[in-house]
């Protein structure tokens, strides 16, 4: 049952450790695939093209939109972020749970197109912890951190739009919590239509004897 993979949307405030969770899922289990997003933002130190993101120009991004090659896209702090379509479909068909690490606006769009997608919001244990983690990164100025915290306050109004929350207090626990959510999602009736129909037809055949 549930041979098709689950489209797994992972969101969370900047600094919540979404990237680490996603990396943990990929390392710990063999049935996850990461959807690589396309973006017009500049790479951070250490980010590789085609691995963290496909870094493209504004012009290239808009061409992909026109060609209907994206599941969803959104503009966020002046940059485009989007999800290339073909790769996601192919991987789900092959049984992989495809992870999309996207912003809240994109997550809502995904749910409209893929109602079976599972939306997970990664939470920090608290507001103080989030600020500490952003400072701990050491890559951003005070002004940027301030902006990210303000953004988090705004985004927090959308948490209830998600199907699940997972608290990133202890990383291994959070990775296994996300996996539990996805394993459960595979047992929803809509993921097992073929099996249910087979059993139902068998029962009806016996009943009409």
Enumerate binding residues for a second copy (CB under 8 A). 1, 13, 121, 123-124, 126-128, 130-131, 149-150, 152-154, 156-157, 159-160, 162-167, 177, 180-181, 183-185, 187-190, 192, 195-196, 198-207
Q: Would strands 97-101 and 7-12 be described as parallel, antiparallel, or unpaired?
A: parallel
> Quick one: 47 or 161, whose CB is closer to a second copy?
161
Q: Closest distance between a second copy and the C-beta of residue 109, in Å?
A: 19
**Measured from the CB atom, is 143 or 160 closer to a second copy?**
160
Measured from the CB of residue 107, what is the shortest distance to a second copy in angstroms?
13
C-alpha dihedral sign at 122, 45, 84, 187? negative
Q: How far is the CB of 57 from a second copy (least distance, A)?
A: 33
Instruction: Kindly tell me which of 94 and 127 has the beta carbon lying closer to a second copy.
Output: 127
End-to-end CA distance of the chain: 28
Cα separation, 170 vs 125, in Å, equals: 10
Query: Which contiguous run of DSSP H or E holds residue 131?
Result: helix 127-137
Q: Measured from the CB of residue 18, what is the shortest distance to a second copy in angstroms?
A: 16
Nearest approach, Cβ of residue 126 and a second copy (Å): 6
Comparison of 11 and 64: residue with beta carbon closer to a second copy? 11
CA quadruple 95, 101, 104, 108: dihedral, nearest 10:
-20
Q: Shortest gap between Cβ of 111 and a second copy (angstroms)? A: 14
Contact 98, 5 (CB under 8 A): yes
CA 48 to the chain's CA centroid: 19
CA distances from 76 to 97, 102, 116, 197 (A): 25, 10, 25, 43
Which CB atom, from 58 or from 198, has the smaller least distance to a second copy?
A: 198
| C-beta of 67 vs 172, nearer to a second copy | 172
The answer to whether 9 touches 18, Cβ cutoff 8 Å, is no
């Amino acid at each position: 049952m549930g041979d098709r993979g689950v489209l797994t949307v992972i969101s969370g405030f900047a600094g919540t450790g979404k990237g680490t969770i996603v990396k943990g899922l990929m390392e710990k289990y063999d049935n996850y695939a990461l959807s690589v997003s396309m973006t017009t933002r500049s790479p951070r130190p250490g980010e590789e093209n085609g691995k963290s993101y496909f870094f493209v120009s504004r012009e290239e991004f808009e061409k992909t939109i026109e060609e209907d090659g994206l599941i969803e896209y959104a503009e966020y702090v002046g940059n485009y972020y989007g999800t290339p379509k073909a790769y996601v479909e192919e991987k789900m068909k092959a049984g992989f749970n495809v992870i999309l690490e996207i912003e809240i606006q994109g997550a809502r769009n995904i749910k409209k197109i893929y109602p079976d997608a599972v939306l997970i919001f990664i939470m920090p244990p608290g507001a103080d912890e989030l600020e500490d983690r952003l400072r701990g990164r050491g890559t951003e100025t005070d002004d940027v951190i301030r902006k990210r915290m303000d953004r988090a306050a705004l985004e927090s109004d959308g948490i209830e739009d998600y199907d699940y929350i997972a608290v990133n207090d202890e990383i291994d626990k959070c990775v296994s919590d996300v996996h539990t959510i996805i394993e459960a999602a595979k047992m929803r009736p809509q993921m097992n239509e073929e099996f249910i129909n087979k059993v139902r037809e068998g029962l009806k055949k016996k009943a009409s004897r």
